[in-house]
């Protein structure tokens, strides 16, 4: 090895260790030069009730896990055991925890009585591994499939099925993905919060019928119970220490409900979005989280007491007036601790060159009457179009104008790529950072700048799972189409 490489490795080790961990530096210096590795990325424990998928492969740089979808009896916190769908017996599924650059191997097994796939929402992986039922034949009951890919980006992502997703996700199939790299600041505690709302019928044991009501067809399926990590959250859920700084990784896994959040009892700032850490964290009072999106928050406990994550929901009072109700969805009892508040030094993130769009396209989102349910949702006039609606060159930067022609909102999601939202000065566009999902409110137009760097055929759809199921699901093609002819499904029946 040349001596300048040697210096570079040493420099990296020193920079990342920050003097606090001499072992890693020593390891680099002592190692046989050809095998010298950059310092290890920290993998702190995640505070997440479903735990982490066990890595069965001792090799560094490979995460190999088993994941099984099946039925399970789940207690949502009210003591009632409900028949739900679960990954490895848990709702949410256990977290997939990896480092950027790791090769991930997931031995997936379907023990449900219906076909399914696993989609890795937000990961820029090859299209053949993306869980799209238009590319991958769905995994039939009793069958297995091995997903294998390299995770390129650090951040908070999630996994869920892409076959009859409106039913399978509602019934409990979703889990978080946490990918780390050397830029991650060190926090005292890291929590994962998968927010959901679920529609429970009077018969607590069954799910009310799907796609059976006009509001559900129009707005998507709204639940009547708010869940955090599949627990009804009306109790103290967790404990914390005063004068600590935590990282909260928040995912909205609901079928349709945009979450409007605030934190009571602690200071917080936004440090990450769908595409990872922000170069410049920012403070806000309210956080709007449409379904599909993720937010990473830095929460500072500078006092003793109850800290609450509040979900603000509009509802009707007894006079049929719309009122806002704040429901605590995560409570932390912060107790006195003998420690001092330290400062988190924000890392200098690699700068991204500004990229000018070379092209502009439009996506018109609209409802039309027709189809099996009497209403269909369309993209550019098409419902579940068979062929990709646009073809782009790999590496192209594209301005996409997304026009919502009706009242219901559309959290629009693009697979396999990141984009930025053009800021128009309102809550749903003043969302800096890389995204894979953007909220387009009723009768509004939102513009995004998409960085189409990942070649392949990619789904582009509304993440209100009922809208997607009822037609608002298309594909774009980046580069040449190397996928076999689509099987006979569209992600629905
Ligand atoms: Cu969350 Cu098509 O995905
Ligand atoms: Cu996705
Ligand atoms: Cu929609």
Separation between Cα atoms, residue 324 and residue 342, nearest integer Å: 36
- Read off the pLDDT of residues 212-263 as tens digits, 9 standing for 90 and up: 999 999 999 999 999 999 998 666 679 999 999 999 999 999 999 999 999 9
- Residue whose CA lies nearest to ligand 1 atom number 1: 121
Report pLDDT for 10.
31
Ligand that comes closest to the CA of residue 159: 1
CB 308, CB 283: distance < 8 Å? no
Residues having C-beta closer than 5 Å to ion ligand 3: 410, 462, 464, 467
* CA 471 – ligand 3 centroid, Å: 10
Report pLDDT for 35.
55
Ligand 1 atom nearest to 122, measured from its CA: 1
Above 70 in pLDDT, residue 391? yes
Above 70 in pLDDT, residue 485? no
* CA 144 – ligand 2 centroid, Å: 21
Ligand that comes closest to the CA of residue 459: 1
Which is more confidently placed, 484 or 97? 97
- Tell me the average pLDDT across 406-430: 97
* CA 119 – ligand 2 centroid, Å: 6
- Read off the pLDDT of residues 90-103 as tens digits, 9 standing for 90 and up: 999 999 999 999 99
* CA 417 – ligand 2 centroid, Å: 9
Ligand 1 atom nearest to 158, measured from its CA: 1
Strand partners, 455: none
Ligand 1 atom nearest to 119, measured from its CA: 3
Ligand that comes closest to the CA of residue 124: 2
Separation between Cα atoms, residue 472 and residue 288, nearest integer Å: 22
- Read off the pLDDT of residues 57-69 as tens digits, 9 standing for 90 and up: 999 999 999 999 9
Above 90 in pLDDT, residue 18? no
- Residue whose CA lies nearest to ligand 1 atom number 3: 121
- Tell me the average pLDDT across 105-133: 98
Report pLDDT for 22.
36
Which phi-psi region, left, alpha or beta, contains residue 97 (left: φ > 0; alpha: ψ -120 to 50)?
beta
Minimum mean pLDDT among 385-399, 455-469, 471-485: which range?
471-485
Ligand 1 atom nearest to 461, measured from its CA: 2
Q: Which residues of 177-189 are buried (b: 16+ CB within 10 A; e: fewer)?
A: bbbbbbbbeebbb
Confidence of residue 457 (pLDDT cuts 50, 70, 90): very high
- Tell me the average pLDDT across 158-162: 99
Report the share of the chain in percent with pLDDT over 70.
Answer: 89
Sheet containing 238-241: give its strands across: 238-241, 322-335, 305-316, 259-264, 287-289
Average pLDDT value over all residues in the chain? 90
Separation between Cα atoms, residue 168 and residue 52, nearest integer Å: 21
Residues at CB less than 6 angstroms from ligand 1? 119, 121, 160, 162, 292, 413, 415, 459, 461, 463
- Tell me the average pLDDT across 411-427: 97
- Read off the pLDDT of residues 184-193 as tens digits, 9 standing for 90 and up: 999 999 999 9
Separation between Cα atoms, residue 132 and residue 415, nearest integer Å: 9
- Tell me the average pLDDT across 198-205: 83
Residues having C-beta closer than 5 Å to ion ligand 2: 121, 415
Confidence of residue 206 (pLDDT cuts 50, 70, 90): confident
* CA 8 – ligand 2 centroid, Å: 37
- Read off the pLDDT of residues 307-358 as tens digits, 9 standing for 90 and up: 999 999 988 899 999 999 999 999 999 999 999 999 999 999 988 889 999 9
* CA 1 – ligand 1 centroid, Å: 44
Report pLDDT for 482.
77
Report pLDDT for 487.
53
Confidence of residue 492 (pLDDT cuts 50, 70, 90): very low
Ligand that comes closest to the CA of residue 367: 3
Report pLDDT for 402.
98
Report the share of the chain in percent with pLDDT over 90.
Answer: 84
Confidence of residue 369 (pLDDT cuts 50, 70, 90): very high
Ligand 1 atom nearest to 415, measured from its CA: 2
**Torsion sign over Cα 111, 117, 121, 127:** positive
Helix (H, G, I), strand (E, B) or coil at 434: coil
Among residues 114, 269, 240, 255, which one has the least CA distance to residue 196?
255
* CA 415 – ligand 3 centroid, Å: 16
Alpha helices in 132-226 (DSSP H): 165-168, 214-219
Report pLDDT for 234.
62
* CA 414 – ligand 2 centroid, Å: 6
* CA 383 – ligand 3 centroid, Å: 12
Report pLDDT for 7.
30
Q: Quote the pTM value.
A: 0.90
Separation between Cα atoms, residue 342 and residue 356, nearest integer Å: 40
Above 50 in pLDDT, residue 455? yes
Ligand that comes closest to the CA of residue 412: 3
Cα angle for residues 487, 488, 489 (degrees, 5° grid): 100
Ligand 1 atom nearest to 160, measured from its CA: 1
Report pLDDT for 36.
56
Ligand 1 atom nearest to 162, measured from its CA: 2
Above 60 in pLDDT, residue 89? yes
Full 3-state SS string of 353-412: CCCCCCEEEEEEEEEEECCCCCEEEEECCECCCCCCCEEECCCEEEEEEEEECCCCCEEE
Ligand that comes closest to the CA of residue 409: 3
Above 80 in pLDDT, residue 29? no
* CA 487 – ligand 1 centroid, Å: 19
Confidence of residue 26 (pLDDT cuts 50, 70, 90): very low
Above 90 in pLDDT, residue 14? no
Ligand 1 atom nearest to 437, measured from its CA: 1
CA 316 from chain centre, in angstroms, equals 30
- Tell me the average pLDDT across 284-312: 97
Separation between Cα atoms, residue 159 and residue 165, nearest integer Å: 11
> How many other CB atoms are found less than 10 A from the CB of residue 327?
15
Above 60 in pLDDT, residue 13? no
């Amino acid at each position: 090895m040349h001596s300048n490489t040697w210096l570079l490795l040493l420099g990296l080790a020193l920079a990342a260790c920050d003097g606090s961990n001499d072992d890693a530096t020593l390891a680099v210096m002592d190692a046989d030069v050809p095998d010298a590795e950059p310092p290890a990325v920290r993998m702190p424990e995640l505070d997440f009730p479903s735990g982490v998928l066990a890595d069965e492969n001792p090799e560094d740089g490979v995460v190999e896990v088993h994941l099984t979808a099946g039925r399970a009896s789940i207690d949502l916190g009210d003591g009632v055991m409900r028949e739900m769908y679960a990954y490895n017996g848990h709702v949410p599924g256990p977290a997939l925890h990896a480092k950027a650059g790791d090769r991930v191997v997931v031995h997936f097994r379907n023990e449900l009585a219906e076909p399914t796939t696993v989609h890795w929402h937000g990961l820029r992986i090859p299209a053949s591994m993306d869980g799209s039922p238009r590319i991958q034949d769905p995994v039939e009951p009793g069958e297995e499939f091995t997903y294998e890919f390299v995770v390129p980006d650090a951040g908070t992502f999630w996994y869920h099925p892409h076959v009859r997703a409106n039913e399978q996700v509602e019934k409990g199939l979703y889990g978080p993905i946490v990918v780390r790299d050397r830029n991650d600041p060190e926090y005292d505690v890291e929590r994962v919060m998968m927010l959901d709302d679920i529609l429970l019928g009077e018969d607590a044991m069954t799910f009310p019928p799907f796609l059976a009501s006009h509001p559900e067809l129009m707005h998507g399926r709204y639940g009547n119970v708010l869940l955090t990590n599949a627990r009804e959250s009306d109790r103290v859920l967790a404990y914390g220490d005063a004068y600590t700084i935590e990282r909260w990784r928040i995912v909205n896994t609901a079928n349709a409900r945009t979450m409007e959040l605030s934190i009571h009892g602690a200071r917080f700032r936004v440090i990450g979005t769908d595409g990872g850490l922000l170069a410049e964290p920012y403070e806000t009072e309210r956080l709007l989280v449409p379904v599909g999106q993720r937010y990473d928050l830095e929460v500072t406990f500078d006092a003793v007491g109850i800290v609450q994550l509040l979900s603000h929901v509009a509802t009707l009072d007894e006079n049929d007036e719309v009122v806002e109700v704040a429901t605590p969805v995560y409570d932390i009892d912060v107790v006195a601790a003998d420690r001092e508040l330290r400062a988190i030094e924000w890392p200098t993130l690699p700068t991204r060159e500004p990229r000018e769009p070379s092209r502009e396209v439009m996506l018109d989102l609209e409802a039309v009457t027709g189809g099996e349910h009497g209403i269909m949702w369309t993209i550019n006039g098409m419902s579940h179009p068979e062929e990709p609606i646009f073809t782009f060159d790999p590496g192209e930067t594209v301005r996409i104008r997304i026009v919502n022609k009706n009242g219901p909102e559309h959290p629009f999601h693009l697979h396999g790529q990141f984009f930025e939202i053009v800021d128009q000065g309102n809550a749903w566009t003043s969302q800096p950072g890389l995204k894979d999902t953007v909220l387009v409110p009723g009768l509004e137009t939102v513009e995004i700048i998409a960085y189409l760097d990942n070649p392949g055929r990619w789904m582009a759809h509304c993440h209100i799972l009922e809208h997607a199921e009822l037609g608002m699901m298309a594909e774009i093609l980046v580069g040449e189409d190397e996928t076999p002819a689509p099987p006979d499904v569209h992600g629905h029946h």
